[in-house]
Amino acid sequence: MANRTDNATLDILIVDDHEIMREGLERVLQDADTGWRTRTAGSGQEALRVLGREPIQLAIVDLGLPDMAGLDLIKRIRAEHPRWPCWC
């Protein structure tokens, strides 16, 4: 069984317009005691601002955001951050 020291640090961005979903997923990840760092955003534009200033390796994106479709956000992330080693 892997312990916390075996896990690489991972910076995760959770993008969902529902606060309860963001907080719930963030809590699940924190309770797993992985040492991963989470950031959250409630819209596509907010996610892009976070990505502009934070190192993120993984984005969990809701497909139905109020200001842009989640797939469009993923395409934009990939276009604007081509060196970003992300899994979206």
Domain boundaries, the chain: 9-80
How wide is the angle at C-alpha 26 spanned by C-alphas 1 and 49, nearest 5°?
Answer: 125
Segment 31-69, tens digit of pLDDT: 887 888 999 999 999 999 999 998 888 899 999 999 999
Distances (CA, A) of 78 to 51, 58, 74, 86: 11, 12, 6, 8
What pTM was estimated for this model as a whole? 0.82
Q: Considering the domain delimited by 9-80, tell me its CATH architecture.
A: 3-Layer(aba) Sandwich (3.40)
pLDDT at residue 57 in the model: 86
Mean pLDDT over each residue of the chain, to the nearest integer: 85
How remote is the C-alpha of 49 from its chain's centroid?
A: 12
Amino acid at residue number 74: I
Could you tell me if 19 and 42 are in contact, meaning their C-beta atoms sit under 8 angstroms apart? yes
